[in-house]
Amino acid sequence: MSPFKSQGYVYHNNMENKFFLNKHGDPIFVTGLQCHNSSTGSPLIEKAIRAVKKFGGNVLEAPVYWYWLEPQEGVYDVSHIRQLIQQVRDADLKLVILWFATNKNGHPNYVPEYVKTNPKKYRLAVGADGAPVPSMSPHCEATLTADKRAFVELIKCIKEEDQDYGTVLAVQVENETGLGGTDRDYSNIAQRDYEKPVPEVLRDIEIKNSGASKKDSSWRGQFGRYAHEVFTAWHHAVYTNCIASAGKEIMDITMFANAMLGDSIDEAGLSYNSGGPVVRVLDIWKAGAPAIDLLCPDIYNPGRDEYEHFCRAYSRADNPLFIPESGFWGTSSAINIIRAAAEHRAIGICCFGAESALNDDGEINDESKEAAVSFKIVNSIAPLLIKYHGTERIYPLIQEEFTVKKHIETPGYHITANFDIKRMFGKGNPSRGRGILVQTDEHEFYLSGDNVGLDFLRRPDPDNEIPYIQLKCRQATQLNFLTVEEGHFEDGKWVADFCRNGDQSNYELYANDGEIVRIRLNPHIGL
């Protein structure tokens, strides 16, 4: 066993990234922006691509539209999809395609006209008052069949256009699925489904605080006060799975579903669309949609408690955390990007509204600059995030409100992260300190960050009779380093661009503006 492993470090890579791979099969840590809803096929897509480039991202998320793909029933036109793939490929980026079809935030904005004009065949869901709601019913076989046929044409296009290039990383099936304005469909057809027994595959699933009696196999008997939401989630999951399965028969590509999340009220149909893959019904979706590889949260909640709640819920052994939508505005977004990547083992983070991140001069606007630096931090250290995903070697360094320092204890070192480093260097308006530290060997660390510096203090050996002598010795600090290098990774290999010494390393070993440094400490402290 190596000395590093003997110090108590644990490696448990149970959520490795097998979903975002380049054409050689190597994992990619996704950092991307999503364009606005109507940008595909317009000049705005080029602005969105420029924004991704300015952020240093590697992925553009962009929608394709059912009503464009099928302008007339049974007539398919994939030209806007081919154009989109080519534009992203020419920009040397990767593409995540968003299938805007039956569901776009729970609404049928993007269904073809032949669907909109024939509500008797392609049915809307019905609310408890008997009136239609602005969402397609997941109990409608005609809508499912039409959506599935169109989705197959999309996947055929991706395969024909891209199988030799690997530009398209993944496909999102629908968008924020669910029913708006009701907890379930109350139509006659849906009611007949509701009166059937709960499917056998769901019998062992319990929903917390449901008050269920489980006296019988009815939805109410097993899922209590959440019966309507669980029933709706099951049918949306099965619906989505049928579409994804048909696509995967054509091409084996990563497919995911995203969720509109709740708020403090947390009631389906009120604070979020009922039936989508929200926290309460993740197990229902896992059972009903096995063809969906990832269930993903769209997190716009800026506060730490809510943000971490959703990260923890979706970061599961059977569901690595991918955030397809979040904000890029202000300090909270910048901090949360680091929080997701380093603390909650995300395999990708994207922010919505790419075009809005640029000002009239084509540069990143002021309110988005901090998030762009956080993207740079993550991208700088991404090869190590991938390599050590699921281990205890990755440390988030975040200046929480009112804090100026953070302490990290490893088996070998006391590490103090000091924030407000820019202020010490005489720079104005320092951003909130943040960064990511990765330990790659017992005495080797990589730091990427902004406005953060580290002090290392060698911990005494447990058998040392007088440990205080070592703790007070200057040789026990990072002054006894071997090398401190600024650099970058190329094809996963470290390249040193600049060696720090003297004044550039006698104090905190710092990182600013997303730079990355390699720190090699001397294991022989001379005591």
DSSP 15: T
Residue closest to 285 by CA, chosen among 173, 196, 190, 189: 173
Q: Which residues does the chain have with pLDDT short of 50?
A: 1-14
Q: For every residue of 60-117, which 3-state class applies, written as one string?
A: EEEEEEHHHHCCECCECCCHHHHHHHHHHHHCCCEEEEEEEEEEECCECCCCCHHHHC
Residues 6 or more apart whose CB falls under 8 angstroms from that of 299 comprise 261, 307, 310, 311, 323, 325, 326, 336
Measuring CA to CA, how many Å separate 250 from each of 86, 289, 379, 416, 455? Answer: 21, 18, 33, 52, 54
Distance CA 96, CA 83 (A): 14
Distance CA 126, CA 136 (A): 9
What pLDDT, on the 0 to 100 scale, is given for residue 468?
72
What pLDDT, on the 0 to 100 scale, is given for residue 11?
35
Helix ranges (H only) for 388-464 are 421-424
The pTM score is 0.94
What pLDDT, on the 0 to 100 scale, is given for residue 306?
93
- DSSP for 335-400, please give it: HHHHIIIIIS--SEEEEE-GGGGB-TTSSB-GGGHHHHHHHHHHHHHHHHHHHTTTBS-EEEEE--
What pLDDT, on the 0 to 100 scale, is given for residue 465?
74
What pLDDT, on the 0 to 100 scale, is given for residue 5?
42
pLDDT tens-digit series, residues 488-498: 999 999 999 99
What pLDDT, on the 0 to 100 scale, is given for residue 269?
86
Residues 6 or more apart whose CB falls under 8 angstroms from that of 42 comprise none
Distance CA 357, CA 439 (A): 33
Query: Token pair of 433, please?
Result: 């300190």
What pLDDT, on the 0 to 100 scale, is given for residue 372?
97
The number of beta carbons lying within 10 Å of the beta carbon of residue 53 is 15
Cβ-contact 419, 405 below 8 angstroms: yes
The CA-CA-CA angle for residues 17, 248, 31, to 5°, reads: 35
pLDDT tens-digit series, residues 45-98: 999 999 999 999 999 999 999 999 999 999 999 999 999 999 999 999 999 999
What pLDDT, on the 0 to 100 scale, is given for residue 13?
44
Q: Which domains does the chain show, CATH number per domain?
A: 29-391 (3.20.20.80), 397-521 (2.60.220.20)
Give the CA diameter of the chain: 85
What pLDDT, on the 0 to 100 scale, is given for residue 429?
62
Cβ-contact 176, 260 below 8 angstroms: yes
Q: For every residue of 148-194, which 3-state class applies, written as one string?
A: HHHHHHHHHHHHHHHCCCCCEEEEEEEECCCECCCCCCCCHHHHHHH
What pLDDT, on the 0 to 100 scale, is given for residue 12?
39
Residue closest to 261 by CA, chosen among 191, 177, 174, 204: 177
Query: Token pair of 229, please?
Result: 């939401």
What pLDDT, on the 0 to 100 scale, is given for residue 17?
78
